[in-house]
Amino acid sequence: MRLLIVDDQTLIRDGLVTICERLSDVDVVGTAADGEEAVALARELSPDVVLMDLRMPRMDGIEATRRIRAEQPNTHVVVLTTYSDDESVLAALAAGALGYLTKDAGRDDIGRALAAAARGQALLDPAVHARLVSLVAAQPAGSPSGALPDGLTVREAEVLAYIARGLSNQEIAASLFVSEATVKTHINRIFAKTQSRDRAQAVTYAHHHGLT
């Protein structure tokens, strides 16, 4: 895995290099001190994964993530930040980040998130995922109405709303009086239409489009 590390604090950046170089199958190909440098280096080095801070001068990690993902869809981003507030989490995922960790994450946590991202899979800090689900679940319930985005059907929007509330496939099937196989079919179509890689990104999509 070719890894680019981005953080504006030299001490933290150097520490992450030391940690990540000790992970198996990880090659740290570069470091950047801000978002602008990250975008330029990602373009030059074509890393598999970028480990991205959020709050940085010149260009923050959200905008850098958005630009990297737009220019290089095969490069994935894992956010590693001090901030776990709702706005930061939602903005990072909406920009295209596959992983989201806070800076109290250990070496093993970082390793798992990087490995997942290299496979194109998402991995969120458990506390971050819980906050995301709680945020959506706290919104008033109701059946989706009006024009639905990205060609979603009413039933798919209903299934998406249940996903956003943290229900399992079995629970969704029981609520809609359908089989789990039918629910899985709906979820596959939802992921395709919303370009979500997993349930965490689907939750973010549902929140942004008011489908909760």
Q: Which pLDDT belongs to residue 16?
A: 95
Q: Treating both helix axes as pointing N-terminal to C-terminal, what angle do 61-71 and 35-45 enclose, rounded to 10 degrees?
A: 20
> The pTM is what?
0.67
Q: What is the CATH number of domain 2-132?
A: 3.40.50.2300
The ranges of the chain with pLDDT < 70 are 130-147, 212
For residue 131, what pLDDT is reported?
Answer: 65
Hey, what amino acid is at 157? Answer: A
Check residue 11 and give its pLDDT: 95
User: CATH 1.10.10.10: does it fit domain 140-208?
Assistant: yes
| pLDDT score at 134 | 64
| Domain parsing of the chain, residue ranges | 2-132, 140-208
Q: How far apart are CA 106 and CA 131, in angstroms?
A: 20
Q: Decide: 79 and 70 in contact? Cβ < 8 Å.
A: no
